[in-house]
Structure 1
Amino acid sequence: MGGSLQPAVFFDRDGVLNVDSEYLFEIDKFLWIYGAIEAVKAVNDAGYLAFVITNQSGVARGLYEEADIHRLHDWMASQLAARGARIDAFEYCPFHPDGLVDRYRRVSDRRKPQPGMIMDLLKTFPVDVSRSFVVGDRPSDIEAARAAGLTGHVFVDGNLRDFILPLLANG
């Protein structure tokens, strides 16, 4: 049974895969981080699962709808597919305790720094936790990783592929 487990990389989205522009949901404002598509492909080629875990409080704040997130993630997936890369699952948290939209105004264990999105993926996919890690750009990403029993790596800037390759080699 243990042989069927796969290592995984859990990517934060804004600031890691794409340039973080406040409350991004429009495809025409989306900019891939340098080397991001190549990084996802490197993760795929190394036999790792690739996941996105992203807080999307803009939904709770009334700035956009969940459908907008799905549209953007579908577009990202098609861009990746065109380059032979894939994300195995996109997870997001639309909730925020200070939200303006009633049905999204709440504390959620899926909102980083809580590990809920990671834990849900661990329940759904056969992940080898010991060889998996989170790549984020904020303390909340690293805290979520730690709470889920994973290592967290902070990506600041530069080429994401160059950042990821040594981490995959260590796995």
Structure 2
Amino acid sequence: MTKALFLDRDGIINVDNGYVYQAQNFQFFDAIFPLCQRFQDAGFLIIVVTNQSGIGRGYYSSEQFLQLNEWMVEQFNDKGIKISDTYFCPHHPNHGEGEYRTACSCRKPNPGMFQQAQKKYQIDMHSSVMIGDRMSDMKASEAAGVAHRFLLLNSKHQPDDSATYQTITQLEDAADLFFEAG
């Protein structure tokens, strides 16, 4: 079976400037590329799992998100890193408009995006890793059976009292902790 590095997007791959949907507003974290390279070199698929309620709220369209995602994937490709897939949830149970106003199984903290990836790629969730910056990332990945979870601490989102994940202060700490423990 395959192992995967699951990444949240906003706050992990790029600076979370709120509802980013244009390349000119997308600022990569420098550490994301060496982190992904390290996991890719170890045989991990790289999969992005991201809530994108900005679509459901009417701030931008699915097409605009997909255009930005294609550009983002190209930036990784240019550095020799393959993003195997991106899963996104456009829904929001309270603030979505029309068909997007729904409580779905794909919006984190629900595990739907992880389960879709697991089924498509035959992923061994026990050998896989999740890096996120919100408790919803930790809860969704835990519910999906991802054994190794890292919460990047930042000023916007702080951990709860759960002990089912490790906290980190820099992206590269996740790789160091994971590979040193292995």
User: Aligned partners of 1:88, 1:170: CA distance in 2, in Å?
Assistant: 25
Q: Which amino acid aligns with 2:105?
A: D
Q: Which amino acid aligns with 1:107?
A: A
Aligned counterpart in structure 1 of residue 150 of structure 2, from 143, 149, 153: 153
Q: Gaps spanning 5+ residues in structure 1: where? A: none
Aligned counterpart in structure 2 of residue 126 of structure 1, from 117, 122, 137: 122
SS in 2 for 1:58: helix
User: Aligned partners of 1:11, 1:133: CA distance in 2, in Å?
Assistant: 8
- Say whether the 8 Å CA contact 1:34–1:159 is kept in structure 2: no
Equivalence for 1:47:
43
Offset, 1:79: 0.5
Offset, 1:162: 4.3
TM-score, scaled relative to structure 2: 0.86
Q: Which amino acid aligns with 1:156?
A: L
Task: Map Cα deviations across residues 103-123 of structure 1 (whole Å, 9 max, x no partner).
Answer: 211111000000000011001
Change (3 A) 1:110 1:100: closer
- Say whether the 8 Å CA contact 1:12–1:52 is kept in structure 2: yes
Moved more, 38-47 or 87-96: 38-47
Identity of aligned residues (%): 34
Offset, 1:33: 1.2
User: Aligned partners of 1:84, 1:100: CA distance in 2, in Å?
Assistant: 37
- Where in structure 2 are the equivalents of 1:1-171 lying within 5 Å? 5-151=1-147, 152-156=149-153, 159-171=170-182
SS in 2 for 1:53: strand
User: Aligned partners of 1:90, 1:165: CA distance in 2, in Å?
Assistant: 24
TM-score, scaled relative to structure 1: 0.91
- Say whether the 8 Å CA contact 1:95–1:105 is kept in structure 2: yes
Q: Gaps spanning 5+ residues in structure 2: where? A: 155-168
SS in 1 for 2:48: strand
Q: Which amino acid aligns with 1:33?
A: F
- Say whether the 8 Å CA contact 2:96–2:102 is kept in structure 1: no
